[in-house]
Protein backbone atom coordinates (compact mmCIF):
# COMPACT_ATOMS: atom_id res chain seq x y z
CA UNK A 1 0.00 0.00 0.00
CA UNK A 2 1.49 3.29 -1.04
CA UNK A 3 1.48 6.27 1.27
CA UNK A 4 0.12 8.51 -1.47
CA UNK A 5 -3.46 8.53 -2.73
CA UNK A 6 -4.23 6.55 -5.88
CA UNK A 7 -6.01 8.79 -8.39
CA UNK A 8 -6.22 6.23 -11.22
CA UNK A 9 -8.31 3.56 -9.52
CA UNK A 10 -10.81 1.66 -11.65
CA UNK A 11 -14.33 1.21 -10.24
CA UNK A 12 -13.70 -2.51 -9.75
CA UNK A 13 -10.43 -1.86 -7.93
CA UNK A 14 -12.05 0.85 -5.79
CA UNK A 15 -14.81 -1.58 -4.83
CA UNK A 16 -12.17 -4.13 -3.80
CA UNK A 17 -10.82 -1.60 -1.27
CA UNK A 18 -14.24 -0.65 0.10
CA UNK A 19 -15.64 -4.20 0.33
CA UNK A 20 -13.54 -5.36 3.35
CA UNK A 21 -14.56 -2.52 5.70
CA UNK A 22 -18.16 -2.83 4.52
CA UNK A 23 -18.12 -6.58 5.23
CA UNK A 24 -16.62 -5.99 8.67
CA UNK A 25 -19.35 -3.44 9.45
CA UNK A 26 -22.01 -5.94 8.36
CA UNK A 27 -20.41 -8.65 10.51
CA UNK A 28 -20.30 -6.33 13.53
CA UNK A 29 -23.96 -5.45 13.02
CA UNK A 30 -24.98 -9.12 12.66
CA UNK A 31 -23.09 -10.17 15.80
CA UNK A 32 -24.56 -7.23 17.73
CA UNK A 33 -28.07 -8.13 16.63
CA UNK A 34 -27.81 -11.58 18.24
CA UNK A 35 -28.42 -12.24 21.93
CA UNK A 36 -25.39 -11.74 24.15
CA UNK A 37 -23.13 -14.80 24.49
CA UNK A 38 -23.45 -16.82 27.67
CA UNK A 39 -19.75 -16.64 28.51
CA UNK A 40 -16.84 -14.49 27.45
CA UNK A 41 -13.15 -15.45 27.43
CA UNK A 42 -11.76 -15.91 30.91
CA UNK A 43 -9.80 -12.77 31.75
CA UNK A 44 -11.07 -9.51 33.20
CA UNK A 45 -11.04 -7.13 30.22
CA UNK A 46 -11.43 -9.67 27.40
CA UNK A 47 -14.58 -7.96 26.13
CA UNK A 48 -12.85 -4.56 25.94
CA UNK A 49 -9.83 -6.09 24.21
CA UNK A 50 -12.07 -7.71 21.59
CA UNK A 51 -13.81 -4.38 20.97
CA UNK A 52 -10.46 -2.62 20.57
CA UNK A 53 -9.13 -5.26 18.16
CA UNK A 54 -12.25 -5.17 15.98
CA UNK A 55 -12.32 -1.37 15.73
CA UNK A 56 -8.55 -1.19 15.24
CA UNK A 57 -9.05 -3.51 12.27
CA UNK A 58 -11.96 -1.45 11.00
CA UNK A 59 -9.99 1.79 11.12
CA UNK A 60 -7.07 0.17 9.24
CA UNK A 61 -9.41 -1.12 6.54
CA UNK A 62 -11.14 2.25 6.30
CA UNK A 63 -7.85 4.13 6.04
CA UNK A 64 -6.76 1.78 3.25
CA UNK A 65 -10.06 2.35 1.45
CA UNK A 66 -9.94 6.13 1.87
CA UNK A 67 -6.39 6.24 0.49
CA UNK A 68 -6.64 3.70 -2.31
CA UNK A 69 -10.36 3.49 -3.05
CA UNK A 70 -10.47 6.28 -5.61
CA UNK A 71 -11.17 9.32 -3.42
CA UNK A 72 -7.89 11.21 -4.03
CA UNK A 73 -7.44 12.49 -0.48
CA UNK A 74 -4.28 13.03 1.52
CA UNK A 75 -3.09 10.82 4.36
CA UNK A 76 -4.01 13.33 7.10
CA UNK A 77 -7.63 13.64 5.93
CA UNK A 78 -7.91 9.90 5.24
CA UNK A 79 -6.65 9.13 8.77
CA UNK A 80 -9.08 11.57 10.33
CA UNK A 81 -11.96 10.16 8.28
CA UNK A 82 -11.05 6.55 9.11
CA UNK A 83 -10.83 7.32 12.83
CA UNK A 84 -14.12 9.25 12.84
CA UNK A 85 -16.07 6.68 10.81
CA UNK A 86 -14.79 3.73 12.87
CA UNK A 87 -15.45 5.55 16.15
CA UNK A 88 -18.93 6.68 15.15
CA UNK A 89 -19.75 3.18 13.94
CA UNK A 90 -18.65 1.85 17.34
CA UNK A 91 -20.85 4.33 19.17
CA UNK A 92 -23.78 3.57 16.85
CA UNK A 93 -23.25 -0.14 17.48
CA UNK A 94 -23.58 0.43 21.21
CA UNK A 95 -26.81 2.37 20.63
CA UNK A 96 -28.01 -0.50 18.40
CA UNK A 97 -27.29 -2.99 21.20
CA UNK A 98 -29.50 -0.99 23.57
CA UNK A 99 -32.51 -2.20 21.54
CA UNK A 100 -31.48 -5.88 21.43
CA UNK A 101 -32.89 -8.15 24.16
CA UNK A 102 -30.15 -9.49 26.49
CA UNK A 103 -27.71 -6.83 25.24
CA UNK A 104 -26.80 -3.54 26.84
CA UNK A 105 -25.27 -0.33 25.60
CA UNK A 106 -21.97 0.23 27.36
CA UNK A 107 -19.96 3.43 27.58
CA UNK A 108 -16.92 1.26 28.36
CA UNK A 109 -17.39 -0.72 25.16
CA UNK A 110 -17.81 2.51 23.16
CA UNK A 111 -14.58 3.85 24.68
CA UNK A 112 -12.81 0.58 23.79
CA UNK A 113 -14.12 0.96 20.22
CA UNK A 114 -12.80 4.53 20.02
CA UNK A 115 -9.45 3.55 21.54
CA UNK A 116 -9.13 0.66 19.08
CA UNK A 117 -9.95 2.98 16.17
CA UNK A 118 -7.31 5.42 17.40
CA UNK A 119 -4.69 2.69 17.76
CA UNK A 120 -5.31 1.39 14.24
CA UNK A 121 -5.25 4.86 12.73
CA UNK A 122 -2.10 5.91 14.57
CA UNK A 123 -0.30 2.66 13.72
CA UNK A 124 -1.10 3.05 10.02
CA UNK A 125 -0.19 6.76 10.12
CA UNK A 126 3.26 5.84 11.47
CA UNK A 127 3.75 2.99 8.99
CA UNK A 128 2.62 5.02 5.99
CA UNK A 129 4.75 7.98 7.05
CA UNK A 130 7.79 5.71 7.12
CA UNK A 131 6.86 4.25 3.73
CA UNK A 132 6.54 7.77 2.31
CA UNK A 133 9.95 8.79 3.69
CA UNK A 134 11.50 5.58 2.32
CA UNK A 135 9.95 6.18 -1.12
CA UNK A 136 11.25 9.75 -1.10
CA UNK A 137 14.75 8.65 -0.06
CA UNK A 138 15.08 6.12 -2.88
CA UNK A 139 13.50 8.51 -5.37
CA UNK A 140 16.02 11.31 -4.81
Q: Note the pLDDT tens digit of each residue in 81-118.
A: 999 999 999 999 999 999 998 888 899 999 999 999 99
Per the domain annotation, does 107 fall within a domain? Answer: yes
Q: Is residue 82 part of a domain?
A: yes
69 burial class (0-12, 13-18, 19+ CB within 10 angstroms)? buried
Query: What is the span of the domain harbouring residue 112?
Result: 11-33+46-139
pLDDT tens per residue across span 53-68? 999 999 999 999 999 9
Measuring CA to CA, which residue among 80, 66, 81, 59 is closest to residue 5?
66
Return d(Cα 92, Cα 29) in angstroms, integer: 10
Q: What percent of the chain has pLDDT over 70?
A: 91
Distance separating alpha carbons of residues 53 and 94, to the nearest angstrom: 16
**Residue 5 covered by a domain:** no
Domain annotation covers residue 70? yes
Question: What mean pLDDT is reported for the chain?
Answer: 88
CA atoms of 98 and 79, how far apart (whole Å): 29
**Cβ neighbourhood burial of 104 (10 Å; 0-12, 13-18, 19+):** exposed
Per the structure, the count of domains in the chain is 1
pLDDT at residue number 140: 60
Give a yes or no: residue 93 inside a domain. Answer: yes
124: in domain: yes
CB 3 within 8 A of CB 132: yes
Q: How far apart are CA 140 and CA 46, in angstroms?
A: 47
Q: Residue 100 falls within a domain, yes or no?
A: yes
Residue 39 included in any domain: no
pTM over 0.75, yes/no: yes
Neighbouring residues of 99: CB distance < 8 A, sequence distance ≥ 6: none
Task: Give the separation between CA 88 and CA 33, rounded to whole angstroms.
Answer: 17
Amino acid sequence: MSASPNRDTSPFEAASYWLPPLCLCILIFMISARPAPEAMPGFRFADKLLHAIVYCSLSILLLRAFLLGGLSIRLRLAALAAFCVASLYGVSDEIHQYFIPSRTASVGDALADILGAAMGTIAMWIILGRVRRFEQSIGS
